Amino acid sequence: MSYTDVDVPNRRDKVQAAFRSFGEVAAAASVLNWLLLFIFFCVLLGAYHIHTMLLMGDWDFWIDWKDRRYWPTVGPIVTIPFIAAAQFFFWEKFRLPFGATFVVLALLVGEWINRYVNFWGWTWFPVNFCWPTEFIPGALFIDCVLLMSRSYIMTAVIGGLGYALLMYPSNWPILAQFHMPVEKNGLVMTLADLMGFETVRTGTPEYIRLIEKGTLRSFGQDVVPVSSFFAGFVSMVMYLIWHFIGRWFSRTDFIARI
């Protein structure tokens, strides 16, 4: 009898001593799965939050920057890349149709932690002045499109367009009250603009906030539909591009090298 033949039963006995029953093995595996899921959620939270903070920036930070022109345009275009990559990974690897909702939920958790701890806890900006943008309705819609169509082309066309169109209506119940007109020193402005003028922010480029002057005024005095449809068309392209990026990162040989 070789050394290997003796060593294998000994190692098996040690494993059986550590896990005396199949139930204990299943419980340990369940704890490990939840731990890995939590780590994966935290990694997505940090990466998605940094991505959004750097690219969306002030249009997501301040309520007076949540305008009718740039905010509906920048928001969907910036946030859909992670959605496209996550949808491919969750759908192809696990057949789970909630990739978009999962990453958007991670984003909002990170955003709320940032707004409450940093913006409110450290610098005393009111929470109703710096609340994060709501993307969950659009994420649910794009997940439903993937589940019902099972086609990435349909998800890019219908889901990407719907994701962009749903952003402004999803946030309007929170935003509407701050778009009420007020009078201050003979000037008429929105309540959001008044809060922005009264709140001191270091290094804010105020000239960018002249958002109501532009050629989009020629489209019937309402720029939100034009901005949202433009964001929808760009989101279609962004979805397709990042779908292939998610496909590349989800390859078995790439995961094995990591």
State the pLDDT at residue 185.
Answer: 80
75 and 134 in contact (C-beta within 8 Å)?
Answer: no
User: What is the Cα–Cα distance from 157 to 139, expressed in whole angstroms?
Assistant: 14
- The first and second tokens of residue 120, run together, are 């409110």
**45: which residues sit within 8 A by CB, 6+ positions away?**
106, 107, 109, 110
Helix (H) or strand (E) holding 193: helix 191-198
81 and 238 in contact (C-beta within 8 Å)?
Answer: yes
Query: Position of tokens 């890995």?
Result: 36
| Largest interatomic CA distance in the chain | 99
- Average pLDDT value for residue range 6-35: 67
- Average pLDDT value for residue range 25-40: 84
- Average pLDDT value for residue range 195-202: 79
Question: How does the average pLDDT of the chain come out, rounded?
Answer: 82
pLDDT band at 201 (very low <50, low <70, confident <90, very high): confident
User: What is the Cα–Cα distance from 81 to 77, expressed in whole angstroms?
Assistant: 8
State the pLDDT at residue 237.
Answer: 94
154 and 144 in contact (C-beta within 8 Å)?
Answer: no
**100: which residues sit within 8 A by CB, 6+ positions away?**
83, 86, 87, 139, 140, 142, 143, 146, 163
Pick the range with the lowest mean pLDDT from 18-22, 107-111, 165-169, 240-244. 18-22
103 and 92 in contact (C-beta within 8 Å)?
Answer: no
Give the phi and the psi of residue 134 in degrees, each rounded to 5: -90, 125
Evaluate whether the domain defined by 26-257 bears CATH number 1.10.10.10: no
- The first and second tokens of residue 101, run together, are 């909702």
Question: If we measure between CA atoms, which residue out of 6, 136, 151 comes closest to residue 79?
Answer: 136
DSSP string across 39-68: HHHHHHHHHHHHHHHHHTTHHHH-GGG--S
User: What is the Cα–Cα distance from 99 to 59, expressed in whole angstroms?
Assistant: 25
- Average pLDDT value for residue range 190-210: 71
Percent of the chain scoring above 70 in pLDDT: 80
> Cα-atom radius of gyration of the chain, to the nearest Å?
24
**Of 213 and 226, which is predicted with more confidence?**
226
**Of 8 and 77, which is predicted with more confidence?**
77
State the pLDDT at residue 65.
Answer: 85
235 and 72 in contact (C-beta within 8 Å)?
Answer: no
Question: Does residue 104 register a pLDDT over 70?
Answer: yes
Distances (CA, A) of 163 to 42, 134, 158, 239: 24, 11, 8, 11
